[in-house]
Structure 1
Amino acid sequence: MQQELTKIYQNQDGSMPDISHLEVQRRSRWKVIAFVLLGGGALLASVSWLGFLMLGGSDRFNTSSIKLEIDAPQNIASGDEVQYRLTYKNVEPVPLDDVEIIFRYPDGFTFTESSPAPQNSDAPHVWTLGRLERNQSGEIVIKGTLIGEVGSLKTINATASFRPENFSSLFKETAEATSQITTSILEITVEGPPKTLVEKEVRYLITYRNASRQKLEHLKVVANYPPSFVFKGANPEPYTRKDEARHFNNQWVIDSLAPNQEGEIEITGGYLADPEQTTVDFTVQIGFLDPQTNEFSVQQEKTAATSITGQNLALNLIANGSNQDQPISFDQTLAYSIVYKNLGTEDLDDVTISATLDGDVLDWSSLDDRHGGTVEGSTITWTKEQLAEFDLLRPLDEGSIDFTIQVKASDDINLNETNLQVTSRAEATASKIGDLDAADARVASNEIKSTINTDVDLKVEGRYFTDDNIPVGSGPLPPVVGQTTTFRVYWSIQNSLHEVGDVTVSATLPQGVSWANKFLVKTGSLRYDAGGRTVTWTIPSINPNEGFEDISAWFDVSVTPTKDQARRLLILTGQASLTATDEVTGAAISKVSGAVTSNLDDDPIGGGKGLVVEIAE
């Protein structure tokens, strides 16, 4: 046994190894790393290969496992019935489970029926087919109505989801088809005048029709008026909603329309003058109205073009040099002018111009009209009988009609009952404008309102005695050279119609006449300016219907005549002037009285004794 062990442990040369210590031989680090990488790569390759074997065949289910085709019409009439046919087929060698087809209908599509029917009537876009055997096929036919604007594209989409047998994942396949709405089963037309005059009534007739073989519901007609169109009325009346404050004058809602049924809408109105719009488009539309969203889907639109001819006769009324409202006075002469001009490009045939002066204060017997117009009531009318140029007024022809009339005196008017205002206006007509009948067309001028000013009177009197023969003056009468005589000057005002304000009365004392500094006023204030030798009476306001006895003042002046004034009348005050403002008309009022002399024309006792006497020594 010893020999056998020796053979095992001895070296090749027969010697025994030294086992008193051991030597450990280490492996290379790079060899270890290489071993790990090789082992990991082998493991990863094995896993990848296994995954390929298990899942690699799934790609073929993504696009071609089930075949979908949608048959849809290329062109559709909006509102008409449309039919979609979907065919499907399992083209895989294995059955397909959990097959479900979901449709996405185009906007405006309303489902009516299908074959087969969907399993859930509340979801008329979902068909659950379940299992589809190898090479098994089928179809789904869907019917409904499609509404949309003419020219729009409508796309239907179908998505099939399925799970191949022995697979846990679901896969999908889609198909779609697009149709274009090229026509509509709704028809509409509009008829209107090709030409019309400004402010002349026009009529448009809208006719609509259901051109299909089925009943149509929830329809709407809309008229788009030009900016210058003024709506007058319609038959039937436009649509209104009781729960809304707004009332549309251009919309008509039609609940239903039977097959081939027609309807009409008549609209009346007129056009205002607009130099930038000589031709306008009157556009009407018909379409379907969604009762839920109130969305309007236009199906057809038609337009009627109308050329608008302006009357283009300029007419301007002028009174007393102005075309604005103005105050007038009693006894005043009113000077009127009617200026006319044809500013258009068309001839005006058989022109008539009239002036109406409404008011009770005019004296028609004072009318001065050199053209000889016909007077009827408060209207003067001129035709081609008076003015030959009115037979045909060509473009740019112009002229004027002038006349005057008098305002009555206040004594001739009942101030409590009479309308104390004159309203003046002019109007023109023509039988034809170009080739258009213009019998109903009228051109109006500006209107002028003339309100009569209040009648303010100023009375100025010089006195030595009152009406009761009581002296208010002193000194000799007649005046005597070298001796002083005092006179009393009375100012009084009366006012009739309106309140007046800022009333001022003033007069100047001549040289040689002295301010006696004795005065009395009932209303306002009186002062004397020695520098300017002026007496001024100011009153803030005077009410209407105030008389002379209500508004008065007096002051005394004295004079000592000189020899040069012998046998002459003395001027005690210069002219007295009154200024005021009519608070109703805003007009400035002015009155002027004569000078007061020593002759005392208004003194029944001391009057006529004004010549200065010289007493010889």
Structure 2
Amino acid sequence: MQKTKTNSIEDSDNGITINLKKSSLAEFTKRPVPNERDVENFEKIIEDQESEMNPPLDEDLDEEIEESLNEIYQDDNGDMVDVKKMDIKKRHGFFYWFFVVIFFLFAALGAYYFYDSHYLKKSNDAAAIEFNLSGKTDVVAGEEFFYTINIKNTGNIGISDVQIRVNYPENFKIADVYPESVKDNPSLWQFDYLSAHSANEIKIKGTMVGLKGKTGIIQATMSYMPENFSSEFKKEATLATNISDIGLEFDFDYVSSVLAGETDEITIRFNAMENNFINNFRITLEPRENLEVLAADGKAYENLADFTMDRPGVWEIKSLSQEEKVMPIRFRFAKKENDKEALLFKFEYKNKEDQYSEFYNETLNFDVMKSDLNLTLIVNGAREDQGVNFGDTLNYSLVYKNKGETEMKDVVIMVVLESDFLDWRTLKYETIGKEKGNTISWSKEEIPALAAIQKNEEGVIDFSIQIMPAGEPNQKQEYQVKSHARFSIGNIEEGKPVESDNQSNTIVNKINSDLKLSETLRYFNNDNVPVGTGPHPPKVGETTTYKVYWEINNNLNELNELVVKLVLPAYVNYDNKNRATVGDIRFDEATREIRWEIGRLPVTVFSASAEFSISLTPSDEDRNKIMVLIPGSSVSAVDSKTEAVLSQTTKAKTTKLEDDQIAQGDGIVF
């Protein structure tokens, strides 16, 4: 049986039929429009429901609410406000408040600008003056240099009545100034006006001469009056300049023990350094009542300085060079007033205005003795202290002379040698003396002439002794030999003090550091590894390279100006393969010199080494020859303690390779 499909749902209880096919809007429009009765019934139902939900209020409460509402909706005249016509004011937005903030910000900035420009700016401009000094802080004595005073007005107002006053260091000599200073016053400058944002400068040229290490301070003061001001302002600047060097080297040779009434000599040695600005100077000797300065005796000296003695104790040196010059000064103490005397020498530079400035001084101390027997001790030809080396032989000469008015009888002469490094087994005499401890003595038994020494009679005692070879250094020991002689009439009693007048000059020979240079030329190193290349012995037309090794050893004193040099033959080339534990190795193509520059070598660095390669390409003329590869190297240094110049030279090395146990042979080029 076929079923019929329906498109509606019917509710029999409520009498409602819902058409499923048609829309609800269509169904709504088909409903009948309610009449007035239906509307009244609907409103009545609504009112009843509202009454049930909101019961009636109390009358007093109603009146109170009504009064409150009236207060809200009444205007200023007591009339009710028409809410329908009421204007609603909008709140201010972001842009409103943004522009308000900007306005007040600009207003504040304007107020500050007004305050700054009228009050602060005026006072700031008055102090907006830059004032400073510039110039060299280290100079060599006599060097010409500039001081510059810089003035800059960075403000917006000009300044007037500008005055600059300078206080110079006492050892500063003015050569020129720019711009010109106030007439007859090189320390004062005046400017009528200095405009805003302008600058000026003062240049002062001059020299400083003084002792090494002396510092001079220049001070500049500036006073000025800013525009629209009634008060004066001041600025100040200072600069310190130090004399770092004098540009000259001095040395003094003299004997510190002198005999009253006897003529002695001081030899002053000097030379100009590379950076020197003093071309003449004056030497003055501080006068003393018992001191006599004598004229030159006409004795010839090598490298004698160009000088004149203006008067006793004043000498003028006319010219200088880097070559060392000597100037002898003869003097004597007329009598003995003190056991010790000091002589002060001053060295002064004369400027263009003939004004003298001291730049160096030296005090020499002397032991003055008064004795009829003059004893003079000489070691290795010198009466003064000097450095000696380990293993050296000390050759002594003791000169005695009777300077009294009568003969001297039974004279005993003793020499005292104080040192831990003398080898007494090597002592040799011209005339045998008596040894006891560290002394040697001679009497009439050894030297018959000492039985009676006539007036002005003199004699010489000669002997020699060696210094021990270098050993392990011991810093607790004094590495020196201190020597002096003394005499007595009759026997010298042991333990009895000897009067200083009976003593000779004292000589201290400090032992130089044990600097040693070893040099080896090799084809194979100590491990039998080849460090050379090419044929050996060398072959004509082919290149052979060798390695040169240098080693320096030093244990005692610190060394300065240490350098090793080697000049290569024209046929030997430097291969530029070098290494050094300290310092630098350089090769000069023009002079063909290899230099190992070390400079300072402290005691803590007791060993240093270097190596480099050389090459040889023999020509046909060299066939069947033994060729010299290195002619010998030299090492030199200055001992910091003894101030002696140490030097050593090595032997020449050939193609025989004398130092190479494997490659050594006849070394003949084939």
Provide the TM-score with structure 2 as the length reference: 0.43
Higher relative helix content: 2
**Structure possessing the higher relative contact order (Cα contacts under 8 Å, 6 or more residues apart):** 1
Higher relative strand content: 1
